[in-house]
Structure 1
Amino acid sequence: MSKVAVVTGASTGIGRAVALGLLKAGYRVALAARRQDALDETAQMAGANSVNALPMATDVASPDGVNALFAALKAKWGRCDLLFNNAGMGVQGYLLEDLPVEKWLEVVNVNLTGSFLCAQQAFRMMKEQTPQGGRIINNGSISAHTPRPDSVAYTATKHAITGLTKSLILDGRKYNISAGQIDIGNAATNMTARMQKGVKQPNGEMMVEATMDVQNVANAVLFMDSVTPEANVPFLTVKASLMPWEGRG
């Protein structure tokens, strides 16, 4: 029987690429994001594999929404083998001292609380299903290591994702649940299109940054889930070779 996966933020970018990669590999995949039309488009892009897609509009920051997503998953396929916690957002155009608390809370609710809510529901299913267990992969970021200028909300949540990942690894052991984090740098998506025009560097200058094909991320997630159940990839970084990460400062 093919594996069952949940991908959040599956309507565009990294989430869409990973969802399509999983569908192509034979997974049955629940596609979650806020916009139903975009999720339906992701499913259609899978071609013949679209029969294994369950597009479901979901606000990951809503406990009721996440509960409904996993209830639908259980009703359709009865289990969850993989959760890719990918839904996320940032806030641009604000200095730290000018960031409205409402914007801060919006980022925290989606990036951190949303990841927790989905992981919690996945835990509950993976704990009770037969065979027991599964895998949770969180989308961290290069910002989980090193921030960009003017990114306090995004960076803080991505550092927190690392703490969430480590807690999932520890608390999941007794249920055969593994967890890992993929830290992604400059995958070519709509979100990173601005990098072709230049992004702010730590010294205040604007610089065009290199990007990489987003398929590299999909391949990396598939690899992380390909290891046998007694193995785990706790942290993996995949980035554009020429992006200025190692030399940020």
Structure 2
Amino acid sequence: MTASTERPRTVVVTGAGTGIGRATARAFLEAGWAVALAGRTLDTLVEAGMQHPLALAVVADVTDPGSVRALFSLAVERFGRVDAVFNNAGVPGPPGAVDEIDPTEWQRTLDVNVTGAMLVAAEAVRTMKAQTPQGGRILNNGSIAAHRPRPRTVAYAVSKHAMTGLTRAIALDGRAFGITCGQIDIGNAATGLLTGFGENRGFAQADGSVRPEPMFDVADAARTVVMMAELPANAVIGSLTITAAGMPFDGRG
């Protein structure tokens, strides 16, 4: 990453108030980064930022282009530039097979997980092209659902497959501007998001059963995101999968 020695590197983290976003924002702060924490609820963002002097809490809606523009403007105003983005905001989507889900809930999932991620990436690219020196890094939070779906999670699985396409397109189009893009696909980090998939009662399996699965500490996922961000500018991890040891993955779909 290109960054001045006179200031900390800056990262924008969306969905920073809870779960993987919260853990990752804190991991960046602990690593000495300035962090713009973006999300829907100010109180949770402030709590996630731990009153750290390099934390900036910004209420933002990733589905609203104006709100996303304001987020990046505030980050640049406060910290001078944006070196990295963790494009993390997302929703689990409605449970159900393709013939069962409400089209309104389907659209809401795509609005947040796909269009929201695109709007954040677009503003990140505009910001990184305009700053001096030019460049930066975008890290998209996919999921192992970008490889294999869980049963009855069609909306979420489709949205995360779309994230992979977004990652690859950004990586290609960003080359000429020193902008790299990678994706982390996380499986069974212990967060509140997994409650919607059955963490409290076991997880639906491909054979129709419901069984407990191994989990791993979300802090380990967060440290992995920071590691990806801190690579030198001439290196990039395009795709990384991290899961709880022993969890079903290849046999899921």
What is the TM-score normalised by the length of structure 2? 0.94
* Aligned residue in 2 for 1:12: 18
Question: What does 1:1-249 align with in structure 2 at a 5 Å threshold?
Answer: 1-44=7-50, 50-193=52-195, 194-249=198-253
The CA distance in 2 between the partners of 1:92 and 1:110, in whole Å, is 13
Q: Which structure shows the bigger proportion of residues in helix conformation?
A: 1
Question: Any idea what SS the aligned residue of 2:242 has?
Answer: strand
TM-aligned CA deviation for residue 196 of structure 1: 4.1
The CA distance in 2 between the partners of 1:16 and 1:243, in whole Å, is 23
What is the TM-score normalised by the length of structure 1? 0.95
Q: Deviations over 1:183-226 (max 9, x none)?
A: 00000112224324211111111111111001111111111112
- Identical aligned residues as a percent: 46
Question: Any idea what SS the aligned residue of 1:121 has?
Answer: helix
The CA distance in 2 between the partners of 1:89 and 1:53, in whole Å, is 24
With 191-200 and 10-19 compared, the bigger mean Cα shift is at 191-200
CA contact (8 A) 2:94 2:155 kept: no
CA-atom RMSD in angstroms: 1.1
TM-aligned CA deviation for residue 78 of structure 1: 2.1
Q: Deviations over 1:119-173 (max 9, x none)?
A: 1111011111111100000001000000111111111110010110001110000
Residue identity in the other structure for 1:16 = R
The CA distance in 1 between the partners of 2:67 and 2:127, in whole Å, is 16
The CA distance in 2 between the partners of 1:56 and 1:128, in whole Å, is 22
Question: Any idea what SS the aligned residue of 1:238 has?
Answer: strand
With 123-132 and 87-96 compared, the bigger mean Cα shift is at 87-96
CA contact (8 A) 1:201 1:207 kept: yes
The CA distance in 2 between the partners of 1:221 and 1:243, in whole Å, is 21
The CA distance in 2 between the partners of 1:52 and 1:179, in whole Å, is 24
State the number of aligned residues.
Answer: 245
In structure 2, runs of 5+ residues without a counterpart are 1-6
